[in-house]
């Protein structure tokens, strides 16, 4: 396994006075798959947006959203990255939560409407049709008329065309039927193996975490409240415990010094400049 | 305090980014600042009141020309106040305000010349008919919002212009209705000075009534309707009726002032009420900070005096102005409208004094 | 219904189609209804007639110069509406174009002070089904149709067109897909400026280079709304219907009501079907 | 609420304008206010009239002015906006103007008359269009006209139409939609029927109409023998080619309310196969002969004006009327005394028009005469046919 890791260090996202994500740090090995689990409003989407460098204009991002360990100075594991933006060399593609496809364009046009910098070993439209044969059949239908699963496949296909090093998927299982979710998980695993793709997936409930990610952690109110939980039989129970608030790890290394562990509610107040 | 202008013109636009919560209020520090702001507002209101009374008294001494300008800005102020209620409070953009003035003016002309109505009677009748027309327009365009409504009122402006010019051609073979001298409670309004005192009184009354309405229950329903019509509907606000009331009130005011305008000019003819006039009234309403009824008064004064001041200034510089002036006025008017819309003054002001958050 | 009337209707329809396509193009991209295109066309026609007349330039050269100025103005309007105006919503953008229209008319008034000049693109007559039609009308019709079809092809066929339609569909998703939204919007404004110029010059040579030429701006918006404001095909259908209705009223009813036709049709459409004839249901809030 | 800072800023703006406005009071010349459409749709007609007026007044000032005092002309561009006309007239009157001259489209006349009646300042409306309020028996006080009263303009057209087409049956009149235009067309239609035309119709179009192709189709279909056009400048240029293309081959009689010989020639060249006549109260382009004609030609030549049009002649005559009234005005001359002087004016047209200009207390217009011209395609010249139609100010 290559030792290159993608590191997120002390990330925080603010919309005006409201802190959506606060002092978040985590790593994901290249080619690995990391799950971010948390309730609605925990800051999952804001984290993915910050990683992709696509936070809305009103939001401000601080810290290092995504740095490649290969380029960092080995000693201090910090580097000359631009604050608030992912490193230059890393390409990230986001599969959004709600608005996934251009509903008024056909499937093929959706795939054409991707503007990506050319890279060696390019993923072409034919490769996407290879990964998702169903899309090849429905090539000329208007994306708005596709089923939920097909739209999800199309969204993933369009993300792949951006030649990503890391694929960010925001709630890929939301609103899909169980057999469709099975198919999406199987396809994602196949694609990761074929392209050596790193995957970060945000999920609100725990039933499919083990199928999609090698390990996961729990996010609550913009902060990380658990260490890494590896994909195993007991993964679901552990995650449920964190989600229900039963247990809570003191925030791991790199937590924000000012904030006292005991009272998570005070983060918005004290931190505001 | 959130500036009113940045919200009113946008209809059911995108909601603020998800997750924005109201910041918790701060304890004692805010209390005394509110107190200070309260007395500050009182002092300001007093100063403006005094300035207004001084203006009413002083202007006649400035000579006829300034009186005429004062009268014209008073007429513009009253119709702009009506428009401010419609566009600022209720968020319904109308490009047809001049059409309602025309409806009021022509109604009065017909009643005065053919039925012998008096000035006040004609003014009431003109206002009511225009108000009904406004309610009808609101009912007809009920299913439209935002830009479609604007284009709908533009349609009204054209239709009224065509129909009323037909009426004018048939009845007066195009010369317009020659209005008799206006008589208010026995007093004949012949000289500019008489008109000045009457118009100031009317401006104050309309300002007072509109302000009471906007601050009262109708005003609140309109603001809810402006923020989000669907939510307002779900809260039990009769949106369709509130919308018709807003249109009716605004066009009632426009109709009444249309009659006054007809008597003041001595002639009622369709060319007095052009689309250009509607856009000028919109500029006045926007310049006067939509939502603040009083704003329309001083904004009307500025927009009426500005072209003359501009011409006088250019003439003082010795420019040959004959073919140059009219174009310059349009450019300046357009620039003012654009600057206010982009809140350039406020943003510029904030940049000059970085202390205060923009 | 003789040939010359039919040609006259088609010529007007082609001018309206060019302008309505520009209106739809901008509206789809950023929900802003543009009111300044006709004034831009009048400015371009005055520039062209001045250059080709007094300055003695050739017609194509003066056309390109006028086009360049119009495109520069379009870039300014793009910055004004899409960058400075963005926080205030698309509604303020629309009123901004009204202000820009006023400014353009003021400038034209100051420079050319309302002169009326005739500008003919091509002299002489050609026979169409046996009836002599002035070549100028045919040239204008050809020019406008060519421009409209070219824009339609760009939007529906080319990659640039697809990213334009993507931005029109959802600007935020387009950003996720790596599309430079503001560059696409700039192209949209440039195309609409070019169409406005060609339509303005076309109508000016059909009738006359005059400040009153700006009145076709409202007709173009009416044609665009007839077509549903979101579909390019609808804009063409709307333009043909409008030109046909207007000229029939002039010839068979009374010329004074020619300006009423587009407005009355629009009024009824707005009341019955606010989203216009074709096109997807616009996000009209049911009140 | 209004913030005091913003209100103060507005007050400063108004304050700055006051000094600029009142500086003219001290000067000693006779001040004549002049309203003109210099940048609107009718600019070709009214601005040319102003040029003619200035030519005359420059000549008067060069010769030492009137009673030793120069005549100053304060010009305001009011386009065709009634509101602006009235307010500009008030501004000029309050700046010391003892008379208002010129005025633009007929729809702006009544507001100016009403505003000036309040201030008892006389108004002299220029060529071409005047409303019938100045005709006897009871003309409006303080209002005079040297142009062409639309009723008379129309009825003369009927007779001229018979002159151009002795056996014509169908007559049509087309004009833009303004008070003056509509009244003129009505009277033309009536006079044409009286002169023996079996059918006569009126076709109106909006003031802003510039695309005449459909209207030309409509007229070509009804195919009148004589078509009277009462247009402003610029419309003839686009109407004639359109009607030619629509296949009309009859006669066009252009009322001299706005064409001017130069534009008539250019339009005629673009409309082959149509016989074009025009008629006007004032001669243009060196047609007539007389002292005033030469003086105007010479002054225009010096001022670099390429061709003298009927509007120059109209403006020149208005200058003569006002200068004559100022000379006879009881000193010190003020608006009321000037009005008294104007009320008994008699000056010779000097060749610019056949009938003298006569104003009396009961007739503020006087007799007028109209000459018929024909466009001679061979010599590319608008030539007089010698036929003159005299019209008294008593409406039949």
Whole-number pLDDT of residue A269: 39
* Interval A14-36 mean pLDDT: 86
pTM: 0.80
Compare all CA atoms of chain C with the CA of D232 and give the residue at the minimum distance: C116
| Residue C45, in any domain of the structure | yes
Q: A97, A102, A109: best mutation site toward chain C, by most C Cβ within 10 Å?
A: A102
Task: Inform me whether the C-beta atom of residue D204 falls under 8 Å from chain C C-beta atoms.
Answer: yes
Whole-number pLDDT of residue D96: 86
Q: Could you tell me the end-to-end alpha-carbon distance of chain A, in angstroms, rounded to an integer?
A: 43
Give bridge partners of residue A92 from the DSSP assignment. Answer: A166
Could you give the CA distance from residue A212 to residue A201 in angstroms, rounded to a whole number? Answer: 8
Chains D and A touch (3+ CB pairs under 8 A): no
| Residue C273, in any domain of the structure | no
Residue D329 has pLDDT above 80, yes or no: yes
Packing angle, helices B239-265 and D82-94, rounded to 10: 40
Whole-number pLDDT of residue D121: 92
Contact predicate A22/A271, CB 8 Å: yes
| Residue C87, in any domain of the structure | yes
Residue B353 has pLDDT above 70, yes or no: no
- Return the number of CB contacts < 8 Å for B and C: 150
Q: Is D249 left (phi over 0), alpha (psi -120 to 50) or beta?
A: alpha
Nearest CA to CA, how far is D272 from chain B (Å)?
Answer: 35
Highest mean pLDDT among B144-148, C63-67, D153-157: C63-67
Nearest CA to CA, how far is B186 from chain D (Å)?
Answer: 19
SS (H, E, C) D233-253: CCHHHHHHHHHHHCCCCCEEE
Could you give the CA distance from residue D264 to residue C178 in angstroms, rounded to a whole number? Answer: 62
Tens digits of residue pLDDT in A133-172: 988 898 888 888 888 888 999 999 988 888 888 899 988 8
Residue D15 has pLDDT above 70, yes or no: no
Of the candidates D39, D215, D246, the beta carbon closest to that of C255 is on D215
Token look-up 């983060």 returns A267
Could you give the CA distance from residue C9 to residue C172 in angstroms, rounded to a whole number? Answer: 42
CB contact under 8 A, C102 and B327: no
Give the pair of three-digit tokens for residue C172: 């935020």
Q: B51, B265, B268, B336: best mutation site toward chain D, by most D Cβ within 10 Å?
A: B265
Could you give the CA distance from residue B131 to residue C197 in angstroms, rounded to a whole number? Answer: 41
Could you give the CA distance from residue B119 to residue B244 in angstroms, rounded to a whole number? Answer: 27
Whole-number pLDDT of residue B343: 77
Whole-number pLDDT of residue B29: 52
Least confident of A141-145, B29-33, B49-53, D78-82: B29-33
Least confident of A204-213, B348-357, C246-255: B348-357
Domain count, chain C: 1
**Cβ neighbours of C258 in D, within 8 Å:** 205-206, 209, 214
Of the candidates C5, C118, C137, the beta carbon closest to that of D238 is on C118
Whole-angstrom Cα Rg for chain D: 22
Query: Cα torsion for C266, C270, C273, C277, to the nearest 10°?
Result: 30
How distant is the alpha carbon of residue B63 from its chain centre? 27
**Cβ neighbours of B41 in D, within 8 Å:** 1
Could you give the CA distance from residue C250 to residue D206 in angstroms, rounded to a whole number? Answer: 11
* Interval C201-207 mean pLDDT: 89
Tens digits of residue pLDDT in A48-100: 888 887 777 777 888 777 777 766 554 444 444 456 677 777 788 888 888 88
| ipTM metric | 0.75
Whole-number pLDDT of residue D100: 93
Could you give the CA distance from residue C18 to residue C196 in angstroms, rounded to a whole number? Answer: 7
- Residue boundaries of the structural domains of chain B: 61-273
Residues 264-303 of B with CB under 8 A from D: 265-267, 269, 271-272, 274, 276, 289, 292, 294-295, 298, 301-302
Cβ neighbour number for residue A230 with a 10 Å cutoff:
12
Could you give the CA distance from residue C274 to residue C284 in angstroms, rounded to a whole number? Answer: 8
Coil vs helix vs strand at A52: helix
Query: Cα torsion for B29, B35, B41, B47, to the nearest 10°?
Result: -120
Mean pLDDT of chain A: 78
Highest mean pLDDT among B15-24, B127-136, B346-355, D12-21: B127-136
Whole-number pLDDT of residue B319: 67
User: Which residue would you say has higher pLDDT here, C238 or C2?
Assistant: C238
Residue C282 has pLDDT above 50, yes or no: no
What is the architecture of the domain spanning A1-89+201-266? Answer: 3-Layer(aba) Sandwich (3.40)
Whole-number pLDDT of residue C16: 94
Compare all CA atoms of chain B with the CA of C273 and give the residue at the minimum distance: B143
Q: For chain C, how many residues are written?
A: 287
Highest mean pLDDT among A111-120, B253-262, D280-289: B253-262
Whole-number pLDDT of residue A82: 55
Whole-number pLDDT of residue C275: 55
Least confident of C280-284, D178-182, D194-198: C280-284
CATH assignment of D151-280+371-391, given 3.40.50.150, 3.40.50.1370, 3.40.50.2300, 3.40.50.1100? Answer: 3.40.50.2300
* Residues 6 or more apart whose Cβ sits within 8 Å of residue B136: none
Confidence of residue A257 (pLDDT cuts 50, 70, 90): very low
Confidence of residue C147 (pLDDT cuts 50, 70, 90): very high
Tens digits of residue pLDDT in B212-222: 998 888 888 88
Tens digits of residue pLDDT in A204-240: 888 888 888 888 888 888 888 888 888 887 888 888 8
Could you give the CA distance from residue D131 to residue D111 in angstroms, rounded to a whole number? Answer: 12
Whole-number pLDDT of residue B146: 67
How distant is the alpha carbon of residue D211 from its chain centre? 24
Of the candidates A41, A59, A269, the beta carbon closest to that of B17 is on A59
Q: Could you tell me the end-to-end alpha-carbon distance of chain D, in angstroms, rounded to an integer?
A: 64
Packing angle, helices C216-226 and C3-30, rounded to 10: 70
CB contact under 8 A, B21 and A56: no
Confidence of residue D128 (pLDDT cuts 50, 70, 90): confident
Mean pLDDT of chain B: 79
Could you give the CA distance from residue D295 to residue C229 in angstroms, rounded to a whole number? Answer: 62
Token look-up 């520009």 returns C22
Could you give the CA distance from residue B306 to residue A245 in angstroms, rounded to a whole number? Answer: 67
Whole-number pLDDT of residue C236: 92
Q: Could you tell me the end-to-end alpha-carbon distance of chain C, in angstroms, rounded to an integer?
A: 44
User: Which residue would you say has higher pLDDT here, B32 or B159?
Assistant: B159
Whole-number pLDDT of residue D283: 80
Residues above pLDDT 70, as percent of chain C = 94
Residues 217-236 of D with CB under 8 A from C: 217-218, 221, 233-235
CATH assignment of D28-147+288-365, given 3.30.420.40, 3.40.50.150, 3.40.50.2300, 3.30.360.10? Answer: 3.40.50.2300
Chains A and B touch (3+ CB pairs under 8 A): yes
* Residues 6 or more apart whose Cβ sits within 8 Å of residue B179: B109, B112, B262, B263, B265, B266, B267, B268
Mean pLDDT of chain C: 85
Token look-up 């005549």 returns D71
Confidence of residue B354 (pLDDT cuts 50, 70, 90): low
Whole-number pLDDT of residue B323: 63
CATH number at residue C70: 1.10.3470.10
Interface of C with A (CB under 8 A): 159, 162-163, 165-166, 168-170, 172-180, 280
Residues above pLDDT 90, as percent of chain B = 16
Q: Is D290 left (phi over 0), alpha (psi -120 to 50) or beta?
A: left
Contact predicate B211/B249, CB 8 Å: no
Whole-number pLDDT of residue A251: 54
Residue B124 has pLDDT above 90, yes or no: yes
| Chains in contact with D, counting 3 or more C-beta pairs less than 8 Å apart as contact | B, C
Residue C200 has pLDDT above 80, yes or no: yes
SS (H, E, C) chain C: CCHHHHHHHHHHHHHHHHHHHHHHHHHHHHCCCCCCHHHHHHHHHHHHHHHHCCCCCCHHHHHHHHHHHHHHHHHHHHHHHHHHCHHHHHHHHHHHHHHHHHHHHHHHHHHHCCCCECCCCCCCEEEECCEEEEHHHHHHHHHHHHHHHHHHHHHHHCHHHHHHHHHHHCHHHHHHCCCCHHHHHHHHHHHHHHHHHHHHHHHHHHCCECHHHHHHHHHHHHHHHHCCCCCHHHHHHHHHHHHHHHHHHHHHHCHHHCCHHHHHHHHHHHHHCCCCCCCCCCCCCCC
- Residue boundaries of the structural domains of chain D: 28-147+288-365, 151-280+371-391
Residue A32 has pLDDT above 60, yes or no: yes
* Residues 6 or more apart whose Cβ sits within 8 Å of residue D181: B174, D106, D150, D175, D204, D230
Whole-number pLDDT of residue A83: 61
Residue D20 has pLDDT above 50, yes or no: no
Whole-number pLDDT of residue A14: 86
CB contact under 8 A, B64 and D131: no
Nearest CA to CA, how far is D216 from chain C (Å)?
Answer: 9
Could you give the CA distance from residue D76 to residue D85 in angstroms, rounded to a whole number? Answer: 8
């Amino acid at each position: 396994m290559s030792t290159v890791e993608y590191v997120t260090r002390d990330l925080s996202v603010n919309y005006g006075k409201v802190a959506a994500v606060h002092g978040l740090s985590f790593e994901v090995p290249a080619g690995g798959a990391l799950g971010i689990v948390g309730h609605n409003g925990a800051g999952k989407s804001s984290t993915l947006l910050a990683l992709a460098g696509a936070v809305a204009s009103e939001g401000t991002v601080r810290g290092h959203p995504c740095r490649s360990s290969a380029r960092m100075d080995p000693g201090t594991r910090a580097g000359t990255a631009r604050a608030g933006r992912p490193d230059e060399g890393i390409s990230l593609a986001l599969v959004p939560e709600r608005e996934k496809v251009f509903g008024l364009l056909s499937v093929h046009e959706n795939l054409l409407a991707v503007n990506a910098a050319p890279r060696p070993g390019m993923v072409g439209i034919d490769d996407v049709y290879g990964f998702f044969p169903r899309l090849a059949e429905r090539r000329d239908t208007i994306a708005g008329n596709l089923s939920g699963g097909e739209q999800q496949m199309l969204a993933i296909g369009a993300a792949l065309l951006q030649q990503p090093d890391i694929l960010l998927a925001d709630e890929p299982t939301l609103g899909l039927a169980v057999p469709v979710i099975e198919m999406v998980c199987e396809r994602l695993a196949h694609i990761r193996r074929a392209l050596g793709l790193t995957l970060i997936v945000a999920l609100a409930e725990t039933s499919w975490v083990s199928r999609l990610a090698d390990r996961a952690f729990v996010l609550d109110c913009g902060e990380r409240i658990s260490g890494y939980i590896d994909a195993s039989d007991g993964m679901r129970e552990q995650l449920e415990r964190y989600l229900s608030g039963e247990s809570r790890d003191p925030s791991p290394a790199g937590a924000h010094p000012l904030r006292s562990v005991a009272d998570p509610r005070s983060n918005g107040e004290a931190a505001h400049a | 305090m959130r500036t009113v202008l940045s919200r009113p013109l946008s209809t059911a636009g995108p909601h603020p980014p998800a997750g924005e919560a109201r910041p918790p209020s701060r304890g004692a520090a805010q209390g005394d600042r509110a107190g200070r702001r309260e007395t500050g507002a009182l002092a300001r209101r007093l100063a403006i009141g005094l300035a207004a009374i001084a203006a009413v008294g002083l202007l006649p001494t400035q000579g006829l020309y300034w009186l005429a300008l004062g009268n014209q800005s008073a007429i513009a102020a009253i119709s702009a106040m009506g428009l401010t209620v419609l566009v600022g409070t209720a968020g319904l953009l109308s490009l047809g305000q001049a059409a309602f003035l025309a409806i009021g003016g022509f109604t009065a002309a017909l009643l005065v010349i053919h039925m012998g109505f008096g000035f006040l009677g004609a003014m009431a009748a003109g206002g009511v008919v225009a108000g009904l027309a406004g309610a009808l327009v609101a009912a007809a365009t009920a299913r439209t919002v935002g830009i479609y409504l604007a284009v709908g009122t533009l349609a009204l402006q054209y239709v009224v212009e065509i129909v009323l010019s037909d009426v004018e051609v048939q009845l007066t073979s195009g010369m317009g209705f020659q209005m008799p001298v206006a008589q208010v409670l026995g007093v004949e309004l012949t000289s500019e000075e008489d008109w000045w005192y009457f118009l100031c009184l009317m401006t104050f009354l309309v300002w007072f009534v509109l302000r009471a309405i906007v601050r009262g229950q109708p005003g609140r329903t309109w603001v809810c309707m402006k923020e989000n019509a669907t939510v307002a509907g779900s809260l039990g606000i009769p949106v369709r009726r509130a919308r018709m009331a807003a249109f009716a009130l605004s066009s009632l005011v426009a109709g009444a002032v249309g009659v006054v305008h007809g008597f003041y000019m001595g002639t009622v003819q369709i060319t007095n009420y052009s689309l250009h006039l509607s856009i000028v009234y919109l500029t006045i309403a926007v310049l006067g900070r939509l939502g603040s009824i009083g704003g329309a008064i001083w904004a009307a004064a500025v927009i009426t005096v500005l072209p003359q001041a501009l011409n006088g200034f250019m003439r003082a510089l010795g420019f040959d102005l004959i073919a140059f002036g009219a174009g310059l006025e349009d450019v300046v008017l357009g620039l003012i409208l654009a600057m206010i819309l982009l809140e350039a003054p406020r943003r510029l002001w904030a940049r000059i004094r970085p202390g205060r958050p923009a | 219904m003789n040939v010359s009337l039919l040609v006259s209707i088609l010529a007007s329809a082609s001018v309206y189609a060019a302008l309505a396509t520009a209106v739809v193009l901008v509206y789809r991209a950023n929900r802003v209804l543009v009111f300044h295109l006709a004034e831009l066309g009048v400015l371009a026609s005055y520039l062209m007639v001045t250059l080709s007349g007094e300055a003695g330039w050739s017609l194509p050269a003066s056309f390109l110069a006028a086009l360049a100025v119009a495109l520069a103005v379009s870039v300014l309007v793009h910055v004004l509406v899409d960058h400075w105006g963005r926080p205030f919503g698309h509604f303020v953008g629309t009123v901004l174009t009204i202000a820009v229209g006023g400014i353009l008319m003021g400038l034209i008034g100051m420079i050319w002070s309302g002169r009326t000049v005739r500008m003919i693109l091509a002299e002489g007559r050609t026979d169409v089904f046996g009836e002599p039609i002035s070549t100028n009308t045919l040239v204008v019709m050809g020019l406008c149709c060519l421009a409209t079809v070219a824009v339609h092809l760009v939007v529906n066929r080319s990659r640039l067109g697809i990213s334009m339609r993507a931005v029109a569909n959802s600007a935020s998703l387009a950003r996720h897909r790596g599309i430079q939204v503001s560059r696409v919007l700039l192209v949209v404004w440039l195309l609409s400026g070019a169409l406005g110029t060609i339509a303005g010059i076309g109508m000016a040579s059909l009738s006359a280079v005059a400040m009153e030429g700006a009145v076709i701006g409202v007709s173009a918006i009416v044609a665009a709304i007839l077509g549903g404001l979101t579909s390019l095909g609808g804009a063409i259908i709307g333009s043909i219907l409008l030109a046909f209705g207007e000229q029939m009223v002039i010839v068979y009813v009374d010329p004074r009501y020619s300006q009423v036709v587009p407005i009355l049709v629009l009024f009824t459409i707005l009341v019955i079907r606010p989203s216009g004839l074709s096109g997807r249901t616009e996000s009209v809030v049911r009140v | 609420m209004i913030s005091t800072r913003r209100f103060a800023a507005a007050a400063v703006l108004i304050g700055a304008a006051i000094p600029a406005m009142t500086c003219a009071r001290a000067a000693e010349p006779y001040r004549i206010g002049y309203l003109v459409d210099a940048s609107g749709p009718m600019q070709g007609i009214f601005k040319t009239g102003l040029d003619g007026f200035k030519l005359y007044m420059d000549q008067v000032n060069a010769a030492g002015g009137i009673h030793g005092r120069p005549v100053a002309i304060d010009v305001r561009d009011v386009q065709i906006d009634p509101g602006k006309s009235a307010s500009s007239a008030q501004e000029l009157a309050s700046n010391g103007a003892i008379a208002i001259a010129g005025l633009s489209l007929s729809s702006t006349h009544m507001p100016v008359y009403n505003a000036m009646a309040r201030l008892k300042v006389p108004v002299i409306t220029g060529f071409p269009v005047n409303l019938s309020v100045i005709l006897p028996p009871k003309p409006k006080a303080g209002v005079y006209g040297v142009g062409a009263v639309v009723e008379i303009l129309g009825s003369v057209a009927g007779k001229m139409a018979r002159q151009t087409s002795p056996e014509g049956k169908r007559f049509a009149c087309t004009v833009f939609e303004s008070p003056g235009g509509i009244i003129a067309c009505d009277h033309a239609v009536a006079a044409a029927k009286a002169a023996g035309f079996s059918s006569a119709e009126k076709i109106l179009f909006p003031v802003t109409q510039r695309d005449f192709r459909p209207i030309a189709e409509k007229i070509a279909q009804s195919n009148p023998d004589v078509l009277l056009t009462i247009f402003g400048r610029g419309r003839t240029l686009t109407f004639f080619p359109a009607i030619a293309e629509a296949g009309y081959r009859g006669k066009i009689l252009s009322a001299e309310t706005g064409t001017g010989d130069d534009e008539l020639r250019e339009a005629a060249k673009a409309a082959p196969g149509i016989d074009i006549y025009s008629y006007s109260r004032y001669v243009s382009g060196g047609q007539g002969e007389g002292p005033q004609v030469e003086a105007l030609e010479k002054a225009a030549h010096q001022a670099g004006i390429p061709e003298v049009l009927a509007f120059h002649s109209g403006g020149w005559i208005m200058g003569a009327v006002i200068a004559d009234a100022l000379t006879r005005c009881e000193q010190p001359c003020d608006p009321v005394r000037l009005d008294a002087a104007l009320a008994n004016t008699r000056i010779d047209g000097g060749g610019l028009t056949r009938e003298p200009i006569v104003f009396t207390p009961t007739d503020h217009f006087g007799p007028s005469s109209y000459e018929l011209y024909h466009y001679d395609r061979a010599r590319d010249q608008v030539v007089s046919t010698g036929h003159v139609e005299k019209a008294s100010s008593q409406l039949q």
